[in-house]
Structure 1
Amino acid sequence: MTTTASRPGPGSRRDPGRRRALLEAADRVIQREGPEASMAAIAAEAGISKPILYRHFGDKSGLYQALAERHTRKLIKGIRDEFSRGDPIRDRTRSTIDTYLATVSKNLNLYRFLMHRASAEDTATHSAMSTMIRDVSRELAEVMVAEGELPDRTRAYVWGHAIVGMVQTAGDWWLDHVDEVPRETVVDGLVDLVLGGLPAAASGARSADEPG
């Protein structure tokens, strides 16, 4: 008997080139129309009907998740590449934050579509985006532990999640003021906050390990 787990998922037998072309059509519409881009507009851009669009991805949720995976993979790679370089910690922190802000501002409508509309409409997409944020936080914490910036693993994880949350929230604010506030100003402020607080966090970790 064939079980559900053994059956291929929606669209799994379809041409990957066609799937990629549909995602590119979705990208164009979202970049042009913003977070309110409709599935009908995406289907029209691709030259197909909305039911056929859904058939390729299973449903609207499947399309949202495919778009999230497509773009978060690129974003995470850029962040990872910058923070994994052998440069001094200040240079890496600066380039990593700058890479993040530059990427989301260049793809503003896609970012808002994925982080706000799709995540609000679809719990699976919200979960995927939350997982991406946690993964970046965890990687940052592991780097800080490995490099001795924060030898206490628990504090490193707290700090890693705090940094990522701070950068994301500050970035969201900046995206609403992008014509008024230079990106460099935001990067400078965030770097000062991160590197100004890191020594205190490390000192607190060492004090906690010392006998009373």
Structure 2
Amino acid sequence: MTSSSARPGPGDGRAARWAGQRERRRREFVDAALRAIAEHGPDVSTERIADAAGVARPQLYKHFDDATDLRRAIADRATGLITTALLPVWEPQGSALQMITVAVDAHTGWLATNGNLYRYLTRHAQIGGRDAISDVKTVIARQLTQVFEFYLTAFKLDARIAEVISFGVVGLVDSCTAQWIESPRGVTRTQLTELLTRWIWGMIDDSLRAGGIELDPHLPLPPPPRPPEIRR
């Protein structure tokens, strides 16, 4: 029979060390899952993920509650990767056209490079009550809303339309790029970026002109204040 003195107390470091080891192993398994998804596609099996991690399938579930927990961890990692890749959205610089081009190029570039991961997130859209793709798009749109609010206010225009424009822009880029990944039909990514940039500028230019503002898209603009953190 185990005595009470042998049980881990509040100051015992064993529980903390186990928690840290478990989190490290979870990260390693998610890394393996990303490799397996990239190699085998969005319908990758748990067995393939276990193979990539170099363990037997049951070993995975010593660190994840179930398949949903694993998918949620993959979705969380993907969200972080996209957020990092889209730095130009969080910190826009230059002219209006430069800001749009760089942001669109970053978005299309990430999706083109990580097509299987994007398909995986789409196939498993509802993960533990969350929609991973919608979460990512919402993060981007919220940040764009802050950027548009800054410039609309600077031009003394109605900033209430900022959110509508932002979600429209994100939806346009995401849906067009997702379709392009599946069926490029000879359109290069550079051409796709150029098309999307032109269309987005058209939306913004129309909104500005409706308020009596004619903006040279090549004119450098003051950068908006950097947000203290990315709101999710």
Q: Same fold per TM (> 0.5)?
A: yes
Alignment match of 2:109 (pick from 102, 110, 116): 102
TM-score (norm 2): 0.75
CA distance in 1, matches of 2:27, 2:137: 25
- 1:1-212 → structure 2 map (5 Å cutoff): 14-82=21-89, 84-114=91-121, 116-119=122-125, 122-126=127-131, 128-148=132-152, 151-178=157-184, 180-204=186-210
Aligned length in residues:
195
Structure 2 residue runs without a partner (length 5+): 1-14, 213-232
In structure 1, C-alpha distance between the alignment counterparts of 2:68 and 2:140, rounded to whole Å: 23
State how far apart, in whole Å, the 2-side matches of 1:90 and 1:150 are.
21
Q: Return the structure number with greater relative CO, CA threshold 8 A, min gap 6.
A: 2
CA distance in 2, matches of 1:150, 1:98: 29
SS of 2:86's equivalent in the other structure is helix
**CA displacement at 1:129 relative to structure 2:** 2.9
Structure showing greater radius of gyration is 2
CA separation of 1:40 and 1:125: change in aligned 2, threshold 3 A: farther
Quick check: 96-105 or 77-86, which moved more?
77-86
* Cα root mean square deviation, aligned: 2.5
- Shift of the 187–150 alpha-carbon distance from structure 1 to 2, 3 Å rule, reads farther
1:55 is paired with a residue whose SS is coil
Aligned amino acid, residue 139 of structure 1: Q
Contact (CA 8 Å) 1:14, 1:56: kept in 2 or not? Answer: no
Gaps of at least 5 residues in structure 1 are: 1-7, 207-212
**Contact 2:86 2:103 (C-alpha < 8 Å) held by counterparts:** yes
Q: Secondary structure at the match of 2:186?
A: coil
Q: Percent identity?
A: 25
SS at match of 1:136: helix
- Amino acid paired to 1:171: T
**Counterpart Cα distance in 1 of 2:88 and 2:206:** 27
Mean Cα deviation higher: 183-192 or 144-153: 144-153
Letter in 2 for 1:192: R
TM-score normalised by structure 1 residue count = 0.81
